[in-house]
Amino acid sequence: LSSTAANPFSDTPAWCDRYVAYAWERGYTQGVGPGLDGRLCFGPDGALTAGEYVTFLLRALGYTDSGDAPDFTWATALDRAAELGVLTPGELALVSGGTFLRAQVVYLSYFALSVPLKDGGGVLLDRTAASSGVAKSQYQSVMDGVSVRRLG
């Protein structure tokens, strides 16, 4: 909420403006393309797919889907995440079929915190703690209270 980044999207409601601006600034989202008026849109009213969310996760982990040597493509995000160890085979099967649920967003987000960053500089939890100003130990104590195992 403290982000001062500009929000380039013409369709974000006030309640999510700071979150979306932060995601844009960090490179996690590129939006859904131009609207009828030609302005860039985020698409806040659309249903999020597993591939879209995993794209956010891969970008947060330092992987890219653009440039001269992309690590993945939009169309291959789920399979590439499984190849990189971000998703287990069981998780890939879970999110590949049917409606992508909020519970699956939480599940994937939780386990992504323990995934190594592409650059080898720790895990996503390390980057999250460093950028938030909250001690990693505080995050870790919350995570230690969760009792769920990864799907194999």
Note the pLDDT of residue 123.
Answer: 94
In this prediction the pTM is 0.86
Whether 88 and 150 have beta carbons less than 8 Å apart is answered as yes
Q: How far apart are CA 147 and CA 135, in angstroms?
A: 21
Note the pLDDT of residue 61.
Answer: 95
C-alpha separations of 17 from 46, 66, 73, 87, 90 in Å: 16, 25, 27, 29, 34
Note the pLDDT of residue 98.
Answer: 85
User: Tens-of-pLDDT digits for all 152 residues of the chain?
Assistant: 778 899 999 999 999 999 999 988 888 888 888 888 889 999 898 888 999 999 999 999 999 999 999 999 989 999 999 999 999 999 999 999 889 999 999 999 999 999 999 999 999 999 889 888 899 999 999 999 999 888 88
Note the pLDDT of residue 38.
Answer: 87
Note the pLDDT of residue 138.
Answer: 93
Whether 115 and 124 have beta carbons less than 8 Å apart is answered as yes
Long-range contacts of 91-98 (CB under 8 A, 24+ apart): 91/150, 91/151, 93/151, 94/151, 95/50, 95/54, 96/50
